[in-house]
Amino acid sequence: MTTTTPPAPYALTPRRVLRSEWHKLRTLRSTWITLAVACALVIGVGITMGSTYDGDDSEIDTVVFVLLGTQLSQICVAVLGILVTAGEYSTGMIRASLTAVPRRLPVLWSKAAVFATLAFSLTFVTNVVTFLLAQLWLSDTDKALSLTDSGVLGALAGNAAAVTLLSLVALGLGALLRSVPAGIGAFVGLVLILPEVLAMIPADLVQDALRYFPTKASESLGAMTRTGDAIPPAAALLSLCLWAAATLLTSAFLLRRRDV
């Protein structure tokens, strides 16, 4: 008869690494301040858009219209993603983390998993609240919708997924560059500004490629209806997943090869 030996009280397990990263994330004051600002921006802009709507923007997708604040909150959530990884290098805590978890990679995966779960959950709830609040003013207009209408919940969830995946790209950049200022600069420059610069190039190949860049893909994922040359939501989701995976895998590769 064989017996199973229970894990030692301080044995290293994936669950305990996850709990450790969750503890570090939730006990930082900057986490909740940053997320509170991000939520306030979405809700505040959504209420403003709903209460001042006069029919001039009738061609804009309703979910996109009420969630215009996401363009601002995205930066806040992305900065938090950078702080999750690069912040430990600035404080020196990364040495303790990697000493406790010598294999290193479980630390990165746990950070990404905990951060993504928190970012998606909070963003989705904020989107639903913002939509419902905006509808208090839009209920008698051509933008009147309810959560049960076709495509609404999908667009709200898609927007939350886009914010989360873009922020995972930022988290990967933070781990890659190991510097908060460098991570923020890389995210703003490469993810937010570079596509706008490339859009000025009058070449069909460039324009087609831009549709799969993170910011353009996120616009497609968070909309109820497909407009213009936007890619389908499934392709947008896949594109964002690939961008996030590429950034995280590159940072994981370098994490294994670098000294702390």
Is 70 exceeded by the pLDDT of residue 216?
yes
Range among 9-23, 107-121, 190-204 rated most confident? 107-121
Least trusted range by pLDDT, from 56-60, 236-240, 253-257: 56-60
Question: Can you state the percent helix, strand and coil of the chain, rounding each to 5?
Answer: 75, 0, 25
* Token duo for residue 119: 């970012």
Least trusted range by pLDDT, from 1-15, 22-36, 105-119, 144-158: 1-15
Model pTM? Answer: 0.91
Average pLDDT over residues 155-165: 96
Taking only the tens place, the pLDDT of each residue in 53-78 is 987 877 888 999 999 999 999 999 99
- Side chain identity, residue 95: R
d(CA 195, CA 234) in angstroms, rounded, equals: 21
Q: Is the dihedral of CA 229, 235, 236, 242 positive or negative?
A: negative
As a whole number of Å, the end-to-end CA separation of the chain is 45
pLDDT at 225: 84
Is 80 exceeded by the pLDDT of residue 8?
no
Q: Which helix (H) or strand (E) holds 48?
A: helix 29-51
Average pLDDT over residues 25-36: 92
Name the band, by pLDDT with cuts 50, 70 and 90, for residue 168.
very high
Average pLDDT over residues 233-247: 96
Q: Could you tell me if 38 and 67 are in contact, meaning their C-beta atoms sit under 8 angstroms apart?
A: no
- What percent of the chain clears pLDDT 70, i.e. is strictly above it? 95
Q: Residues, the chain, total?
A: 260
Name the band, by pLDDT with cuts 50, 70 and 90, for residue 188.
very high
